[in-house]
Structure 1
Amino acid sequence: MWDTIGEKSKLTVCFVGIFVSYLLYGVVQEKVTRGKYGEGENAERFTFTLALVCIQCIINAVFAKLVTSVIGAGKTTTPWSLFTQCSVSYMGAMLASNWSLKYVTYPTQVLGKSCKPIPVMLLAVILGKKRYPWTKYIVVLLIVSGVALFLYKDSHHRPHGSTSNLFGIGEMLLFLSLFLDGITGVIQDKMKTQKTHPLHIMLYLNIWSIFLLGIGLLLTGEGIQAVYFIIRHPEVMIHLVLFGLTSAIGQVFIFVTITTFSPLTCSIITTTRKFFTILVSVVMFANPLLSHQWLGVFLVFLGLGLENVIGKKQTSNR
């Protein structure tokens, strides 16, 4: 059935799937990480990042295994080494991004990660020997510049106490995270050329991530602490399961996008998804936009419009 759908319709399905699932994912994530469990003086927050990501990966892997069994995806012929490399770069990017929050503000981290399509494209060209039309570079630059302008806060709007240093440990961790995002994109491009099923990528990527995170949980002792927390507050399990399910559904759409289109297309979708999420929040709560933010909105829609025109021309030329 999927093969009978047109390219534009597939892209729309992938975008809506990623947008809706990760919108719900963000809501549940905020509930788990910022909500308090217990009452009175016994109320506490779930602060176990490694355990949270590990639970997420376990549910992702189980979900992928169940779906592959139902649809009869069969076995993969992709070398295990690719899954291993992809998992290491993927987890490295995630951990570097999370660790950067110890040194930079959350808006700075979001701003940095909004540039993800650039390293994905550049490393695909340098390491993967891919070639893109010049219009694709313009689309990426327009969207990334627009999102960056939209998220940017000048000195009068930065949080009190934020650092004025242009480059420090936090920024280095963000650059490392972006570099590893690009490496992950190159590896995923190799998987695409081997026609790897998206659910196989999801399954084995999460299995390797569980293994790596398990080592971290044992070495840090965070795994035991998280178990004790769940025993003290069993109601958190409902939120953890919902968190994992929304992540699993979102990952299905992400890996379908990667194998149907490319890692670059996927990174553009996830970047614009963050932009639209924040834009909806701004509109709902009637927060005024600054002049440079309106310019950012214009650049993003200009980039998306240009991408749509390019897609139509490529379809008509086939």
Structure 2
Amino acid sequence: MSYLRLGLCVGGVYSMFLLWAIAQERLSVPFQHIDGTSSEKFNSPLFMGTCQSFLSALAALLYIYLRRKPGQTLHQILGLFDAPKTTTPNGAANGNASINGSANGHAKANGHTHTPHENKRDTRFDTRSLLLRYLQCAVLITSAAPFGFAALSYITYPAMVLGKSCKLVPVMIMNVLLYHRKFARHKYLVVAMVTLGITLFMGFGKEKPGKAKPGRGSAGAGQEGPSAYAQLIGITYLLINLLIDGATNSTQDEIFARYKVTGQQMMFWINVFCTALSAAISVLPLPYVPVLHPAASGTELGAALAFVRTHPSVVGPLAQFALTGALGQLFIFETLQHFGSLTLVTITLTRKLFTMLLSVVVYNHKLTPGQWLGAAVVFAGISVEAWVKRRDVHAKRVIQEKEKARIKAL
């Protein structure tokens, strides 16, 4: 049964996100006007995000409702707490055990110690603090998405996929520069390989970004590649996207550590807040803001709907982008819940490799031998990281099994 579930998860992640990637790249290139005289790009990333987050929230809600246990309240189904919890004299939270141990005796920030007679609200089990964490994730996700979409105007989609595979690099560099932290030797090797690979890929690139399907696109394979300045802008946007993604992942880890919620519950609430936030911004008459609000005048929602009316061919890729993104998230959280993060990392790593290859085939990208070498170096470096992690986890499991056997023998 577990192998069948794993096969379904792998197949779901691959199929949904490969189709999602095709739709995302198609949305980044010009669409033909209804009168057939011109073509324009779809510049409404917030509208794209609103469509996807709405369907994702709906998919998560249906999932957790169908998988609910008998007798569960609505609050429990949605991962909320039925009542505020307070710390009792023994330091434990009423109605729920503390995750991080007793609060009794811990020093406070103002210098005095928590006494057994004090009753203080424990925010680790507080619905309001949990929802604020979800809102924080939503703000980060809503801010990150436009930068990733804008990067496609300056770098090719295969280059972006390659860059998105390297979240470890900016995180590790910032830790070393800002906090002087040290890492295992293999991590420095991984960063060096990834950096070398990306440098080779970008340096040997000759294709312009924003290329569409043959016969429908802007740039041809034989045209001169993007300038160094354009590539720098694209890489900068991509780095901003990766850094914000890293902050999002850290916040999600904090939620899992502090609160007893499932992945699907987190998916539901984050996407609810993303939908509300992006929809609110889309209807506000904001001025032109590069990347974040590219609409020249009026609201982004108005600009997006006007574009859909005059470019009806955008409807198909937009629906594909939203639907496959929503279903793909369900498979990701299902994999994370039943098989752990290492299995998920392996699946997503190979998925990104196939995404890049599929983009090359579907949109007829022309990669030079130097770019293929750069891609190989990047994925080899990431594979080293995944292999070391798997080896370390396996070693820990062996030690735990031996310890259990020793205790049972006693």
Does residue 92 of the first structure (1) align with residue 92 of the second (2)? Answer: no
Q: Deviations over 1:230-263 (max 9, x none)?
A: 456667545433322111111123334555634x
The answer to whether the 8 Å contact 2:27/2:318 transfers is yes
The Cα shift of 1:71 comes to 1.1
Q: Deviations over 1:197-220 (max 9, x none)?
A: 111121111111112211221125
Higher helix content, 1 or 2: 1
Distance 1:148 1:114, change over 3 A: farther
Aligned amino acid, residue 214 of structure 1:
A
TM alignment of 1:72-87, pairs within 5 A: 72=68, 74-77=77-80, 79-87=130-138
Aligned amino acid, residue 138 of structure 2:
S
SS at match of 1:115: coil
Does residue 246 of the first structure (1) align with residue 324 of the second (2)? Answer: yes
Does residue 64 of the first structure (1) align with residue 143 of the second (2)? Answer: no
TM alignment of 1:211-230, pairs within 5 A: 211-220=276-285, 221-230=299-308
- The match for 2:14 among 19, 31, 37 is 19
Distance 1:92 1:132, change over 3 A: same
Q: Which runs of 5+ in 1 are unaligned?
A: none
Does residue 198 of the first structure (1) align with residue 198 of the second (2)? Answer: no
Distance 1:301 1:202, change over 3 A: same
* More displaced stretch, 228-237 vs 202-211: 228-237
Aligned amino acid, residue 51 of structure 1:
F
The Cα shift of 1:181 comes to 1.4
Instruction: Tell me how many residue pairs correspond in the alignment.
Output: 306
Distance 1:56 1:178, change over 3 A: same
Counterpart residue number, 2:50: 54
TM-score calculated relative to the size of structure 2 = 0.59
The separation in 1 between residues aligned to 2:9 and 2:189, in whole angstroms, is 19
Q: Deviations over 1:48-102 (max 9, x none)?
A: 3321221111111111111111111713146111101111112222123334456
**Relative contact order, CA 8 A, sep 6+: which one is greater?**
1
- The match for 1:304 among 368, 372, 383 is 383
* More displaced stretch, 58-67 vs 307-316: 307-316
SS at match of 1:72: coil
Distance 1:31 1:295, change over 3 A: closer
Counterpart residue number, 1:113: 164
* More displaced stretch, 45-54 vs 85-94: 45-54
Distance 1:25 1:149, change over 3 A: same
SS at match of 1:40: coil
Distance 1:117 1:271, change over 3 A: farther
The separation in 2 between residues aligned to 1:274 and 1:109, in whole angstroms, is 10
Q: Which runs of 5+ in 2 are unaligned?
A: 70-76, 81-126, 209-223, 286-298, 401-410
Counterpart residue number, 2:373: 294
Counterpart residue number, 2:34: 38
Distance 1:150 1:171, change over 3 A: closer
- The match for 1:177 among 241, 265, 282 is 241
Percent identity over the alignment is 27
RMSD over equivalenced CA pairs, Å:
4.3
Aligned amino acid, residue 307 of structure 1:
A
The answer to whether the 8 Å contact 1:139/1:303 transfers is no
Distance 1:100 1:300, change over 3 A: closer
Distance 1:139 1:66, change over 3 A: farther
Distance 1:44 1:64, change over 3 A: same
The separation in 2 between residues aligned to 1:286 and 1:242, in whole angstroms, is 22
* More displaced stretch, 303-312 vs 248-257: 303-312
The answer to whether the 8 Å contact 1:101/1:109 transfers is yes
* More displaced stretch, 17-26 vs 33-42: 33-42
The Cα shift of 1:293 comes to 2.7
Distance 1:33 1:245, change over 3 A: same
Counterpart residue number, 2:294: none
Distance 1:231 1:172, change over 3 A: closer
Choose 1 or 2 for highest CA Rg. Answer: 2
Distance 1:111 1:312, change over 3 A: closer
SS at match of 1:249: helix
The separation in 2 between residues aligned to 1:210 and 1:185, in whole angstroms, is 19
The separation in 1 between residues aligned to 2:311 and 2:207, in whole angstroms, is 36
Distance 1:179 1:56, change over 3 A: same
The Cα shift of 1:146 comes to 7.5
The separation in 2 between residues aligned to 1:86 and 1:123, in whole angstroms, is 21
TM-score calculated relative to the size of structure 1 = 0.73
- The match for 1:157 among 195, 206, 225 is 206
- The match for 2:191 among 131, 138, 141 is 141
